[in-house]
Amino acid sequence: MHEHLPVPPSRPAARPARRNFLRAGPLLAASLAVPARAQSGAGERWSATWGAAPAGPPASASTQSFTSQTLRLVVHTSIGGNRVRVRFSNEMGSTPLRIGAASIGVRSSSSAVLQSTLRTLSFGGQEAITIPAGAPALSDPVELAVPAQADLAISLYLPGTVQATTIHDMALTSSYLSPAGDYTSSVSMPVSRSITSWPFLTEVDVDGAASTLVAIGDSLTDGARSTGNVNRRWPDFLVRRLQASLGAGGRIGVVNRGISANLLLNDYATALIAGRDVLERFDRDVLATAGVRYLAVLIGINDISYSSGSNPIPAADLIAGYRQVIARAHTHGITVIGATLPPMEGFVYYTAAREAVRRAANSWIRFSGEFDAVADIEAALRDPNAPAHILPLYDSGDHLHPNDAGYQAMANAFPLAPFVAATTPPLDFVNRY
């Protein structure tokens, strides 16, 4: 959850459905220039190696604006592959997004990429694309040896003036903005300033038919208060644990769809940077992830904390939401790992009534048997001498969010048995996207 977010007043009205269509230049010319299979990656078995959940639009006073500049966005892979494609998003935008040019490469340092890895990205054979408001876009696949646990740099040239209305706000990773100009083909890009968000970028996929784990949640999954630029969120630690523990069977992509201040059941017109609630964003952020086979669910602490301190949300409401997540995931053959909510006594939003709801929700997560497996985050983080408190060794200082050591303990709480049991996803799931 977000430490300074006021309790929002009400849920916004539902947005009208929007058509998903793309304009990428003359279709006939594109089809003649590049074979259809090469454009789409049809028949290839894709898995996400990195991902973030889009949110927005931000409040107008805090919306970033770019004018004929290049964004060089840095992400950290989980697994490797020999071909790569990238998913961009204008899903929170109200006007078309024009990408004038794009590229990808393995980062060498700061804003520079290794020259031998720099690749131009195209869209239906065209180097530019206009993404309509409300839509995502996939790049064509390109040949690139993508290492596991390495930094990639995805560069976007944005002609004209562009507002970052679709954005993942808390990247905890430095990315870079150029002076005016198209630097997508430059190995070393001049930098006007750095940013710590991911505008317009939501997923990087690699070939090779690995399974993907999606971690969905709030700031506890987004990595709030972990050390920046060193990848110490719990999903990052879990990547390293899977690969160290399972060897070849640990080739499981891990995608972090946490959003700071996110909720399971509600979202708010005054706080859209906190993202749509999990039930609303489930199809986009879980089912549309390439190769998804596993889902880790750590959500609910904000539903409790943002409700009345004396008469909070009933645990039954959270349980109903968890059941919907489980049912929708199981419909698509996805194994669901539920995570208990961490201790919070001493946190600014703590009350005895809220604590009672947290404990009731945790009891259901542990003992109902409705999740396929359970990661007992509460047990991993709590102080044995004061179980309602986070262990001081793991406390970042606000009595809810862990420090780096606490995020490591969270990753260690995830059972490995579900991943050992089935490391290869069914063909229909890996080929859908």
Between CA 22 and CA 131 the distance in angstroms is 6
Residue 27 has a pLDDT of 30
Instruction: Say whether pLDDT at 6 is over 80.
Output: no
Between CA 39 and CA 84 the distance in angstroms is 12
Residue 45 has a pLDDT of 92
Q: Taking the complete model, does pTM exceed 0.85, yes or no?
A: yes
Question: In the predicted model, what is the mean pLDDT of the chain?
Answer: 90
Between CA 433 and CA 423 the distance in angstroms is 19
The 10 Å Cβ neighbour count of residue 193 is 8
Instruction: Say whether pLDDT at 36 is over 70.
Output: no
Q: What is the mean pLDDT of residues 279-298?
A: 98
Between CA 344 and CA 342 the distance in angstroms is 6
Nearest to 11 by CA among 358, 305, 315, 277: 277
User: pLDDT (tens digit, 9 = 90+) per residue, 322-346?
Assistant: 999 999 999 999 999 999 999 999 9
Quickly tell me which residue has 């505008």 as its tokens.
199
Considering only residues 11 and 97, tell me which one the structure prediction assigns the higher pLDDT: 97
Instruction: Say whether pLDDT at 24 is over 50.
Output: no
Quickly tell me which residue has 């793309």 as its tokens.
22
416 in helix, strand or coil? coil
Lowest mean pLDDT across 48-52, 157-161, 195-199, 249-253: 249-253
User: pLDDT (tens digit, 9 = 90+) per residue, 401-418?
Assistant: 999 999 999 999 999 999
Confidence of residue 7 (pLDDT cuts 50, 70, 90): very low
Give buried/exposed letters for 3-33 (b at 16+ CB in 10 A, else e).
Answer: eebeebeeeeeeeeeeeeeebbbeeeebeee
User: pLDDT (tens digit, 9 = 90+) per residue, 344-363?
Assistant: 999 999 999 999 999 999 99
Between CA 7 and CA 358 the distance in angstroms is 18
Instruction: Say whether pLDDT at 264 is over 80.
Output: yes
